[in-house]
Amino acid sequence: MLQKAEAYVRAHAKQVDPTFRPHFHLAAPVGWINDPNGFCVFRGRYHVFAQFHPYDSVWGPMHWGHWVSDDLVAWTWLGVALAPDSPYDELGCFSGTALQDGDRLLVIYTGVHRDAAGRTVQEQCIAESRDGIHFEKWACNPVIGARDLPPDGAPEDFRDPKLIRTPDGWRVIAANRGPKNGRQLSFVSRDLIHWTCEGVLLQGVGQMPECPDYGPCDGRDLMLTSVMNLPQDGLRFQNGHHDVVYLVGQERDGRLLPERMEAVDLGPDFYAPQRIRTPDGRSVMIAWMDMWQTDSPTHYLGHGWRGQFTVARELSIRDGRLLQRPVRELERLRGEVFEADVQVDGETAVPGLCGRRYDLLLDIAVRPGAWAEVRLLQDGGDYFSVRYDPQTQVLTADRSRCGYTMGPGGGPEVKPAGRAVLEGATDRISLRILVDQCSVEVFAGDGEAALTTLAFPKGPAEGISFAGQCAVHVRKWAL
């Protein structure tokens, strides 16, 4: 199955329609990708994998696609690392993580199969590589099975293992559905083969807090988790079906005691983040830039691919709040700067300010009682809107007027916009906006808020203009 998938990618990757292909984001070579998997450093290079279905641009039997990078910006496709070719993963190689262990790269993932009664079961499996490219699954898989769950654990919802090295051996944090909705369980082992469940690390967060990423950040314990059916709470948690949250706190006696829980990204297209510690000590995160229960023009227009990742982002914690900024390596892609001061009264265009992939810095001063808007990917009356209203302190990123929709088959969609409250903001704000063919990533202030949104314009869509009543200092680099 692995060789079949590799052959299919080689035969079909050059046939995908390039109209919306990103230039500085990792994307599916063909077919479908979703969650980042196995984000790690191995022998001085960055590796990341993805949930990958090569044969169609919709979700299907999960393989692991594999990329490598020297700088967290330019990613090179290495091939298919795992395929669902064993009895314990016959229905898919679901998400997991990776770590370097001496001269080998370990990956732990969820193998999905049916038991003797025909019920779907999710269990945790390990594979290893000596060269960082070719992987061998362990003969003793699954290493953490349904047998290791507490008596009240559901084996059909037991997935997304986070592998952690400890002073005494190894730890795995995995999502599991219990009698009172979802939770995250902690397992320990000395040899990676024999595992014991030591209890519940986190519970009480939505129906199923999946894709856990857990570890220290700036002296605190930081959990990133993608939550199914988290109750909506104004603009704090707005997606309803799938929100990604962070919890900052301290672990005591095997339980995470969170002091704060907030959304990681308030845009409609952000899920399943993973992070690493870089060799120079930074905490860096990458995520799937897409969302469940939407339909992509790259699928329904027959372009042959769907799915990409966000740019890698540096994380820090200040006053208990998570900050995120694009990795500094991205600035190496910058060309000549375009700089201007713009007085905006109604819609205002700036000669020479245009593009389809760029890094845009805006310092905005809004006039009393007014609002400010930047219109991106503009083609006539179609555009992507980033709007700030000082009266409500709300920043909105909205694709509803930008070409193709992401509703079923190109129909209406439930959530074409994301909104963030900029606490403490006044009539002056700073924005950094990354645009790459079909995506817009907005960062407010020093990274206090992020909104990630896909957008698929129907024309060339290189226009950039402003609206409202404000003064704007613009700096823009083509990337």
d(CA 404, CA 159): 34
Instruction: Supply 82's token pair.
Output: 């795992």
CA distances from 416 to 58, 138, 413 (A): 20, 44, 6
Instruction: Supply 145's token pair.
Output: 């099975």
Q: Number of helices (H) and strands (E) in the chain: give both, helices first.
A: 2, 32
35 is known as an active-site residue: yes
Q: Which residues contact 254 (CB under 8 A, 6 or more apart)?
A: 186, 198, 199, 200, 201
- Per the CB < 8 A criterion, the answer to whether 450 and 324 are in contact is yes
d(CA 391, CA 425): 10
DSSP per position, 297-359? HHHHTT-SEE-BBPPPEEEEEETTEEEEEE-GGGGGG--SEEEEEEEEESSEEEEEEE-SEEE
Nearest to 207 by CA among 254, 175, 250, 163: 175
Reported residue count of the chain is 479
**Secondary structure of 229-252 in the HEC alphabet?**
CCCCECCCECCCCEEEEEEEEEEE
Q: Which residues is 267 bridged to in the sheet?
A: none
CA atoms within 13 A on the CB side of 226: 21
Sign of CA dihedral 170, 186, 39, 154: positive
Angle at CA 113, nearest 5°, toward 112 and 119?
115
Please count the other Cβ atoms lying within 10 Å of the Cβ belonging to residue 312. Answer: 27
Q: Which residues is 400 bridged to in the sheet?
A: none
Given 35, 265, 295, 359, the catalytic residue: 35
Q: Which residues contact 395 (CB under 8 A, 6 or more apart)?
A: 386, 387, 388, 419, 420, 421, 422, 429, 431, 442, 444, 449, 451
Known catalytic residues are 35
